[in-house]
Amino acid sequence: MTLIISADEIKKTMPGYDASKSESFHSESAKLADKQYAAALKERSEQAIILMAGGAASGKTEYVSEYLKSAPAIIVDGTLPTLRGAKIKIEKAHKAGKKVEVHLVLPASFLVAFVTF
């Protein structure tokens, strides 16, 4: 079974969410994603943790849906923006006895990401 934890998807469920003001919901949705991750480490039987890394519009979510949707893993679909944050997630996974993989997705062209934003 696959569990995908995505702060972007959590945002869409928050009261008052407006896609044009998505960034103002990010802090709270990231906290909720972290809580989901902590609970999943304790409650889920999957032994593999996949942490997604890469900038906005790099294709991470598409990569997850195309290549990982049936992986027996807990997948954290985020940007993994800081080394400290990555280290914390990895340490928590190891403490729970899980194996960690980091998948970095970069756009074929940085122009694509630049034009998007």
Question: Using one digit for the tens of pLDDT, what is the confidence trace for 23-68?
Answer: 899 899 999 999 999 999 999 999 999 999 988 778 899 999 999 9
The per-residue pLDDT for 22 is 87
**Cα(16)–Cα(18) distance, integer angstroms:** 6
Tokens 């923006």 locate to 81
Mean pLDDT for all residues in the chain:
91
Give the neighbor-by-neighbor strand order of the sheet with 73-77.
3-6, 73-77, 48-53, 99-104
The CA distances from residue 41 to 8, 22, 23, 63, 102, in Å, are 20, 27, 27, 23, 16
Which one-letter amino acid corresponds to residue 100?
V
The per-residue pLDDT for 58 is 82
**Cα(95)–Cα(19) distance, integer angstroms:** 36
Q: pTM for the complete prediction?
A: 0.87
The per-residue pLDDT for 111 is 62
- Angle of helix 83-95 relative to helix 26-43, nearest 10 degrees, comes to 20
21: DSSP letter: G
38 within 8 A of 81, measured Cβ to Cβ: no
pLDDT band (50, 70, 90) for residue 11: very high
